[in-house]
Amino acid sequence: MLDINERNPGEESSLSRRMFLKIGGWLVMAAGMLRIPGIALAQGKPDVIAEDVRFPGKDGTVGGYLARPAGQGPFPGVIVIHENRGITDYIQDVTKNLAKEGYVGLSVNLVSRSLGPDYPGGSDEAMKALGQLSDADAMADLDAGVAYLRKQPVVFTNSIGCMGFCMGGRYSLLFAEHRKDLKAAVVFYGRTVNKITPLQTKSPIDLVPEIAAPLLGNYGAADAGIPVDDVRKLEEALKKGNKTFDIKIYPDAKHAFHREGPNYHAEAAKDAWKRSVDWLAKYLKKG
């Protein structure tokens, strides 16, 4: 019987090798389960590189989450406009999925002014801060995001679009109205009509004549917060203004149907994402 403190010849090196392989396996498994800050990992050679970034804004430093293809580029750029809880895991995944489609995605952290550029999304504090954000300040920070994207060597500076969800969907509409140089805009269930307040000085539908970018909209007929009639009004205004657009209303989909959660609608989510990346490819990758 071998004493626990004894070693057969070569056993110590064998144990070391086994332990090394075991630890290595644990680390690989952990990398697959945990979100590693600062970089997106993939099996083998990464196809996407993602990181937290900072850049100058009109009234201070703005934070963001940047994801790009691993290649040299240049690639078109997409400003990703988050929901009313900031840059959550979901928004990071959206940004990385855009990178997998061949875009440099930048989600601008719109709580930077009140909570700091590195403040994470998902909290009640983030939601409260975004509820106090004015349209003018949001547009200024998104402008700063475009300026930052254009400074990236991997970005094709003349081909930048935007994509927004929920609150960010409304901002995507406003941003398309605000900037004439955007090449495409995508809206996921963004409010089209709102009451005029000190924070929201304009209703998106009133600014439709200002839109220059081709606009794609994805909406749910069962959205309790955005009546179908309001979406139809947007369609009518876009048609009257002779704008390039494509709006689809999914019959059984509720608000936030693209994000995993109680309102997730798999069929609508899959179709809306395909429509969106096809739209971006048509207008951002052409020529």
Q: How far apart (Å, rounded) are the C-alpha atoms in residues 102 and 78?
A: 10
Tokens standing for 45?
Answer: 């050679």
Q: How far apart (Å, rounded) are the C-alpha atoms in residues 51 and 34?
A: 15
Q: How far apart (Å, rounded) are the C-alpha atoms in residues 39 and 51?
A: 5
Q: How far apart (Å, rounded) are the C-alpha atoms in residues 84 and 190?
A: 11
SS3 call for 248? strand
Q: How far apart (Å, rounded) are the C-alpha atoms in residues 266 and 258?
A: 8
Set 166, 178, 258, 265: catalytic member: 166
Set 82, 178, 255, 265: catalytic member: 255
Cβ atoms of 62 and 141 closer than 8 Å: yes
What sign does the dihedral 253-256-259-261 (CA atoms) show? negative
Set 223, 230, 258, 265: catalytic member: 223
223 carries an active-site annotation: yes
Based on the number of CB atoms within 10 Å of its own CB, is 28 exposed (0-12), middle (13-18) or buried (19 or more)? exposed
Q: Which residues are catalytic?
A: 166, 223, 255
